[in-house]
Structure 1
Amino acid sequence: MDVVSDAISAVRVGRPSSERVRVGGRWCARFDPYDGAGFHVVLRGGCWLLPDGGEPVVLGAGDAVLLPHGTGHVIADAPADAATVERAVPFDRWADGRRADGSLPRPPRTADHGREVEMLCGKYRLDRSHTHPLLAELPPLVHLPARPDGDPGLRAALALLEGELEEQRPGASLALPSLLDLLFVYMVRSWMARSTAGAWPAVLGDRVAAAALRALHADPAAPWTVDRLAAEAGVSRPTLARRFTALVGRPPMAYLAWWRLTRAAALLRDTGDPLAAVARRVGYGSPYSLSHAFRREFGVTPGRYRTGRGLSSRASGSGS
């Protein structure tokens, strides 16, 4: 696993949910704050997105937008004043009125004019109890406009997604969630390629820090030392310690300890492996040593964490 894959896998719960919507005329729909990540992909037409506490964003055909922290927002056919936003129809209630052809009726109190828009609106369920700092530093809204010089991987993922939506082909129930997961990866990648402010694009662009992180994520259970990690990165021990700490924000062994416990939490949430097996997979010599460290980090024992968070997450993993 690489750092981006691990960062997403550590927090992702269940399968993403999505709604394909088609609407024309005057409309305005509300998405409440969500303990996960929201996304929209404009397939045809255009609209406006008004994030809570942020500036309005114009969305055109082919645009994708990620709200990685579940920021509440409104989507509308046109710029909306405060009074219009207050009257916005909750999206879930609006979607319950879907027509037989899959389109949505216009919300009430609207005039019959305006251009039609077709889009995919959805959510990723995330467990934020151990968010990787790479995802934590994402801005409230990541707008990825369609343009010729844009990320070719993202364009390809969007094309595959639109093709899957256009035709009811065999295997669609597996293909669509997988493509939505792929879309999440490409949106994060695209943000990293464009970001001029985030720390983690710089971390993964640094030869020394990136090499050390790849090694730690590839085998977190290995008996790592700073000397061994420095050899893996091809630099001296002081150079590794200095550059890694400056870029990542914590020393290499402190990051490894945190990541081992984060991986343990994900394994407790997503698998039925006994505690001894989880301990071995993340580099702890015994269940007792893992339990002690886990309680210090998360405030609960591994067993209570699994019962209170893991089982409930798995039980609701297929829903929205």
Structure 2
Amino acid sequence: MDLTSALLAGPRAQRAFVLKVCLGAGWQLRIEDRSALCVLTPVRGDLTLRFDDGETIDIAVGEVALVRGTDPYDAYDDPAAPRLAVIEADGRCYSPDGTLLKDQLALGVRTWGDDPDGESVFVTATYAESNEVGSRLLQALPRATVVPAHLLEWPLVDMLQTELDRTSPGQDVVIDRLLDLLLMGVLRVWSEHDAESGLPSAGDDDVVRAALAAMHHNPAEPWTVQTLAGFTGVSRAALARRFATVVGEPPMAYLTRWRIQLAADLLIEGATLERAAREVGYASAFGLSAAFKRVKGLSPQAFRDRAGEPMLVGQV
């Protein structure tokens, strides 16, 4: 697994709410759902996002936008149009006067709006949360990113729209997989074409790339700078210098942070402290606990308590 693949493994479609929105001309929506990440692509009719600080993002048909973070914004085809609805957390929808909208704008399974044949049709998927590894990706993303249509290699938007328009066995799973692919494809294009993407990268340095791949492929290996240098075929000093220059921190500091992020996800998923320690390369639960607290500022128990899960010790 390369670094980008490992980072992109964070958000998963199983945590996303997917909807096709169909609206007549002249509309405006207020988005206050506080989602961690939103994927948005117009199918018919361009649209604009406007954040409260005045930043606007135009999204054309065929383009895919990623909106990161919890900042509220307006989405519209006409900035002077009356507000149709306010979208809050968990998909709750209200009219401008505060009336809860339940079935008034439902147009069928996974379809919502005021006109099924409207001039504006777009697909939106919101991720309520991300895991610890995925959080590195979210931190790297700008608040809003638009990927031009001509840079997308796969016809995933069309395929996703087709699935949203039909009812077939296994449809939920197919939509999840298509959404995963769409998000991964957009993020890959963004990381490849944005020199300031913020994702740690080995660039053209084959030695650093090999070291990163080794750490990501087998984080439980007892890596040292010396063993990584031997693996990559350079001296210890050369690896340390090149790694710090390219990645921005020493190899062991990077490996420690990566292991703790992996361990955090394992703990959230229900792994015991002992199992998490084994899988990420610590000899004991005590060793992982000490490193965890040093990196994250709280113990594994406190971290899991905050995530709402009981800590299991000694039970796999």
Residues 49, 199 of structure 1: alpha-carbon distance in 2 compared, 3 angstrom cutoff:
closer
What are the Cα deviations for residues 261-317 of structure 1, in whole angstroms up to 9, with x where unaligned? 1110000011x32221111101010111111221222233223322331639xxxxx
Structure 1 position 3, deviation (Å): 1.8
SS at match of 2:105: coil
Structure 1 partner of 2:98: none
What are the Cα deviations for residues 165-197 of structure 1, in whole angstroms up to 9, with x where unaligned? 232221011111222122221111010121022
Structure 2 partner of 1:3: 3
Out of 272, 275, 288, the position equivalent to 1:274 is 272
Structure 2 matches for 1:1-320, cutoff 5 A? Answer: 1-10=1-10, 15-32=15-32, 34-53=34-53, 55-78=55-78, 80=79, 89-91=85-87, 92-93=92-93, 96=102, 97-101=104-108, 102-105=111-114, 116-127=119-130, 133-147=136-150, 150-152=151-153, 155-200=154-199, 202-270=201-269, 272-309=270-307, 311=309
Structure 2 partner of 1:316: none
Residues 275, 63 of structure 1: alpha-carbon distance in 2 compared, 3 angstrom cutoff:
same
Structure 1 position 232, deviation (Å): 2.5
Answer 1 or 2: higher relative contact order, Cα 8 Å, separation at least 6.
1
What are the Cα deviations for residues 34-75 of structure 1, in whole angstroms up to 9, with x where unaligned? 251112111222222223435323222211100133443211
2-structure distance, mates of 1:126, 1:233: 37
What are the Cα deviations for residues 65-92 of structure 1, in whole angstroms up to 9, with x where unaligned? 00133443211012x26xx69x573134
Structure 1 position 218, deviation (Å): 0.3
Aligned amino acid, residue 142 of structure 2: P
2-structure distance, mates of 1:281, 1:256: 13
1-structure distance, mates of 2:239, 2:275: 31
SS at match of 1:256: helix
Aligned amino acid, residue 298 of structure 1: K
Residues 199, 37 of structure 1: alpha-carbon distance in 2 compared, 3 angstrom cutoff:
closer
1-structure distance, mates of 2:162, 2:234: 47
Q: Is the CA contact (8 Å cut-off) linking 1:199 and 1:247 kept in structure 2?
A: no
1-structure distance, mates of 2:122, 2:297: 42
How many residue pairs were aligned?
Answer: 296
2-structure distance, mates of 1:40, 1:178: 16
Structure 1 position 12, deviation (Å): 5.4
Aligned amino acid, residue 104 of structure 1: G
Structure 2 gap ranges (5+): 95-100, 311-316
SS at match of 1:200: coil
Q: Is the CA contact (8 Å cut-off) linking 2:163 and 2:171 kept in structure 1?
A: yes
2-structure distance, mates of 1:137, 1:176: 26
What are the Cα deviations for residues 106-131 of structure 1, in whole angstroms up to 9, with x where unaligned? 8xxxxxxxx71111112123347666
Identity %: 32
Q: TM-score, normalised by structure 1?
A: 0.82
Aligned amino acid, residue 8 of structure 1: L
Aligned amino acid, residue 105 of structure 2: R
Which structure features the higher share of helix residues? 1
What are the Cα deviations for residues 108-164 of structure 1, in whole angstroms up to 9, with x where unaligned? xxxxxxx711111121233476666454222111101223xx231xx3322321222
1-structure distance, mates of 2:277, 2:21: 45
1-structure distance, mates of 2:132, 2:170: 33
Moved more, 20-29 or 138-147: 138-147
SS at match of 1:240: helix
Measured on the aligned residues, the alpha-carbon RMSD in Å equals 2.7
Structure 1 gap ranges (5+): 107-114, 313-320
Residues 124, 100 of structure 1: alpha-carbon distance in 2 compared, 3 angstrom cutoff:
closer
Aligned amino acid, residue 234 of structure 2: V
Structure 2 partner of 1:318: none
Structure 1 position 260, deviation (Å): 0.8
Residues 166, 205 of structure 1: alpha-carbon distance in 2 compared, 3 angstrom cutoff:
farther
Aligned amino acid, residue 143 of structure 1: V
Moved more, 3-12 or 64-73: 3-12
